[in-house]
């Protein structure tokens, strides 16, 4: 089911529970829903690292300098957005689905954070942890090539 339909289906009684993501995880209580568990908190408790929420990926066959240029463009874009938040908010409000500014800002801080600019050791450890979990669950074969740009 499309993630944006889950909350409505729980509220309508079509499902007893659902996993809410994106802005719905910030607004569910206003609609009378109750949190059973926070999967991010559970992940951190079981893995002692942050939960990887998404990623940017490029094809392995691209030249390293091209990969680094893409990475730098994304990094600069994120930094620009934070440095020009008023400008960014105007754009986001045009596309947000009934979100208050507080919810928009919390959403940004949750999903576009310091890991988005630089994974660092903590971020790369988190990604390696999710790959280990996936391998342990037989969800993929062990990668033979590095997954990070050095």
84 labelled catalytic: no
Cβ–Cβ under 8 Å, residues 78 and 71: no
| Token duo for residue 137 | 């669950």
Of the residues 22, 84, 107, 136, which is catalytic? 22
CA distance 58 to 43: 26
- Cα–Cα nearest to 4, from 18, 129, 14, 76: 18
**Residues with a known catalytic role:** 22
């Amino acid at each position: 089911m499309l993630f944006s339909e889950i909350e409505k289906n729980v509220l309508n009684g079509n499902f007893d529970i659902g996993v809410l993501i994106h802005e719905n995880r910030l607004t569910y209580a206003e609609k009378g829903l109750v949190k059973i568990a926070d999967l991010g908190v559970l992940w951190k408790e079981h893995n002692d690292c942050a939960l990887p929420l998404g990623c940017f990926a490029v094809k392995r066959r691209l030249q390293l300098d091209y990969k680094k240029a893409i990475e730098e463009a994304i990094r600069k874009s994120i930094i620009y957005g934070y440095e020009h938040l008023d400008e960014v908010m105007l754009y986001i409000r045009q596309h947000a689905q009934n979100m208050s500014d507080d919810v928009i800002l919390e959403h940004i801080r949750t999903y576009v954070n310091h890991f988005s600019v630089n994974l660092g050791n903590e971020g790369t450890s988190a990604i390696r942890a999710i790959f280990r979990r996936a391998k342990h669950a037989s969800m993929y074969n062990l990668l033979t090539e590095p997954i990070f740009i050095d």
